[in-house]
Amino acid sequence: MEEKTLYTVTIFSENTVGVLNQITTIFTRRQLNIETLSVSPSALAGIHKFTITVFAESDEVMKKLVRQIDKRIDVLKAYFNVDDELIHQELALYKLATDKIMEHGSIEYLIRKYNIRVLEVSSDCVVFLKAGHYAETQGLFNELAEKIGVLQFIRSGRIAITKSKVERLSDMLSKREENKPEQLSHISI
């Protein structure tokens, strides 16, 4: 099989029902399997941001994919990047049994090595938070699983911002508003 690259797709859309479905079917039709997905309100009110990672064979495949996404009426802007062009993060939570940690002895070195934040400590369990790249959150998981045992583990989808100065969505929107034809008064609903 051809070597595949991990791409990150960023999509800004109107906050309407069913946008996620419209987007995912475009991936499905092209046999592209979504690795991670993160959706949240963006900095602009009423606009949602999707960050999706996917392995694909080439930029060409991604270009076609992104154009099909961009074409959907409710989508404002879609683009893709490779890792070098991004600052990206994932969040991971790890739940460990308190008694196992105590048996293990000092965990200071782990906290320093992985820059762990402790979110919760009770007599039953301890919850760690780690932000980082996939390799980092996975590295911590591996080490904890081997040395102490992990009761529960969850990792978020990737979130990312570009390193370069790209056209900001707010600029694009204000340009669109400038070119807006004269409007009849719209009904408010």
According to CB under 8 A, which one of 6, 35, 74, 127 is a site residue for another protein? Answer: 74
Smallest separation, CB 67 to another protein (Å):
4
Instruction: Spell out the SS3 assignment of the chain.
Output: CCCCEEEEEEEEEECCCCHHHHHHHHHHHCCCCEEEEEEEECCCCCEEEEEEEEEECCHHHHHHHHHHHHHCCCEEEEEEEEHHHEEEEEEEEEEEEHHHHHHHCCCHHHHHHHCCEEEEECCCEEEEEEEECHHHHHHHHHHHHHHCCCCEEEECCCEEEECCCCCCHHHHHHHHHHCCCCCCCCCCC
Verify binding: residue 42, another protein, rule CB under 8 A: no
Which of 161, 141, 38 has the alpha carbon at shortest distance from 92?
141
Cβ-based nearer residue to another protein, 9 or 116: 9
Contact pick of 22, 42, 89, 138 for another protein (by CB under 8 A): 22
Amino acid identity at 85? E
Q: Indicate whether 10 belongs to the interface with another protein (CB under 8 A).
A: no
| Residue 75 binds another protein, judged by CB under 8 A | yes
Number of residues that bind another protein (CB under 8 A): 31
Question: Could you give the CA distance from residue 33 to residue 54 in angstroms, rounded to a whole number?
Answer: 6
Residues 82-121 binding another protein (CB under 8 A) are none
- Determine the interface stretch with another protein among 3-11, 33-41, 119-127, 174-182 (rule: CB under 8 A): 174-182
- Name the segment binding another protein (CB under 8 A); options: 11-19, 87-95, 100-108, 120-128: 11-19
Question: CB of residue 14 vs another protein: minimum separation in angstroms?
Answer: 6
Report the residue number, 25 or 152, with the smaller CB distance to another protein: 25
Binding site residues, another protein, CB under 8 A: 13-14, 17-18, 21-22, 25, 29, 60, 63-64, 67-68, 70-71, 73-76, 173, 176-177, 180-187, 189
